[in-house]
Structure 1
Amino acid sequence: MTVPTRPAPVQLTHHSHLTGVFAPQRDEVDVHDLPVTGELPADLSGSYLRNGPNPRFDPIGSYVYPLDGDAMVHRISVDGGTAAYRNRFVRTPMVLAEEAAGHAIWSGIMDGYTPDAAEVGEQLAGTVRELPDINIVRHGGRLMAMAEADQPYVLDPKDLATLAKTDCDGAMRVGSTAHPKLDPETGELVLFNYALEAPYLTWAVIGADGQPVRTPTPVDGLDAPVMIHDMALTSRYIVLFVCPLIFDLEAAFTGGSLLSWRPDDGTRIALIPRDGGAVRWVQAEPFWVWHFANAFDNPDGTVTVDYVEWTYPGGFTDQPAPASSTLTRAVIDPAGPMTRTVLSDKAIDMEFPRVDDRTLTRDHRRVATVAKSPGDSGDLDSLWFYDLHRGTESVWRPGVAIGEPIYLPGNERDYWGAIGTDPADLRSRFYVLTAEDPSAGPVATVDLPIRVPAGLHGTWLPDSPSAG
Structure 2
Amino acid sequence: MTDTLATDPHRPAPVDVVHHTHLTGVFAPQREEVDVAELRVVGEIPGDLHGSYLRNGPNPRFDPIGSFVFPLDGDGMIHRISIADGKASYSNRFVRTPMVELEEQRGEAIWSGVMDGYTPPASVVGDALAGTTRQLPDINIVEHAGRLMAMAEGDKPYLMDRTQLATLAQEDCDGAMRVGSTAHPKIDPHTGEMVLFNYSLEAPYLTWSVVGADGSALRSPTPIDGLDKPIMIHDMALTQKYVVLFVNPLVFDLEAAMTGGSLLSWEPERGTRIALIPRDGSAIRWIDTEVFWVWHFANAFDNPDGTVTVDYVEHLFPGGLTKPTGVNNPALTRARLNPSTGAVSRTQISERTGIEFPRVDDRLLTLDHGRIATVGKSDADDGFLESLWFHDVNSGRDEVFSPGVAIGEPIYIPGDGHDYWGAIGTDPEDLKSRFYILDADNPADGPLATIDLPIRVPAGLHGTWLAE
CA distance in 1, matches of 2:260, 2:63: 25
Deviations 1:153-179 (A, max 9, x none): 000000100000011121001000000
8 Å CA contact 1:370–1:403 kept in 2: the answer is: yes
Identity level (%) = 70
The match for 1:261 is: 266
Given candidates 360, 368, 374, the residue that maps to 2:365 is 360
Q: Note if 1:221 corresponds to 2:221.
A: no
The 3-state SS of whatever aligns with 1:51 is strand
TM-fit CA distance, 1:322: 2.4
SS at match of 2:21: coil
Tell me the alpha carbon deviations over residues 269-300 of structure 1, each in whole angstroms, 9 at most, x when there is no partner: 10000000000011110000000000000000
Higher mean C-alpha displacement, 22-31 vs 386-395: 386-395
**What CA distance in whole angstroms lies between the structure 2 residues aligned with 1:360 and 1:179?**
13
User: How many residue pairs get matched?
Assistant: 460
In the alignment, structure 2 segments of 5+ residues that lack a partner are: 1-7
Distance, in Å, in 2 between the alignment partners of 1:112 and 1:325 is 31
- 2:224 maps to a residue whose letter is V
Contact 1:346 1:374 in 2 (8 A): no
Is 2:117–2:257's contact at 8 Å kept on the other side of the alignment?
A: no
Which residue number in structure 1 is paired with residue 121 of structure 2? 116
Matching residue of 1:403: 408
Q: Which runs of 5+ in 1 are unaligned?
A: 464-468
More divergent stretch after superposition (127-136 vs 365-374): 365-374
1:311-350 aligned at under 5 Å gives the runs 311-335=316-340, 336-348=342-354, 350=355
Cα deviations across residues 295-343 of structure 1 (Å, max 9, x unaligned)? 0000000000000000111123333522221100011000210111101
Counterpart residue number, 1:391: 396
For 2:9 and 2:152, locate their aligned partners in 1 and report how far apart those are by CA, in whole Å. 27
Is 1:153 aligned with 2:158?
yes
Render the CA deviation track for 1:206-232: whole Å, top value 9, x for unaligned: 000000000000001111110100000
- The one-letter code matched in structure 1 to 2:418 is R
Per-residue deviation, 1:374: 3.3
Please tell me the residue identity of whatever aligns with 2:78: V
CA positional deviation for 1:372: 2.0
Return the TM-score normalized by structure 2.
Answer: 0.97
Q: Which of 8, 28, 35 matches 1:30?
A: 35
Task: Determine if contact 1:325/1:345 at 8 Å carries over to the other structure.
Answer: no
TM-score (norm 1): 0.97
SS at match of 1:21: helix
Matches within 5 A, 1:6-155: 6-155=11-160
Match of 1:197 among 181, 197, 202: 202
The one-character-per-residue Cα deviations of 1:179-198 (angstroms, maximum 9, x if unpaired) are 00000000000000000111
Q: Within 5 A, what are the aligned runs for 1:253-292? A: 253-292=258-297
| Paired position in structure 1 for 2:434 | 429
Distance 2:117 2:242 in 1: 38
Report the AA paired with residue 333 of structure 2: T
The two structures, once aligned, show a CA RMSD in angstroms of: 1.1
Rounded Cα–Cα distance in structure 2 between residues aligned with 1:28 and 1:4: 34
Aligned to 2:5: none
> 2: distance between equivalents of 1:113 and 1:195?
19
For 1:316 and 1:11, the matched residues in 2 are separated by: 18
Maintained 8 Å contact 1:44/1:79: yes
For the Cα contact (< 8 Å) 1:347–1:373, is it kept in 2?
Answer: no
What is the identity, as a one-letter code, of the residue corresponding to 1:405?
P
Preserved contact between residue 171 and residue 205 of structure 1 (Cα < 8 Å): yes
**1:466 alignment counterpart:** none
Secondary structure of residue in 2 paired with 1:168: coil
Residue identity opposite 2:422 in structure 1: G
1:215 is paired with a residue whose SS is: strand
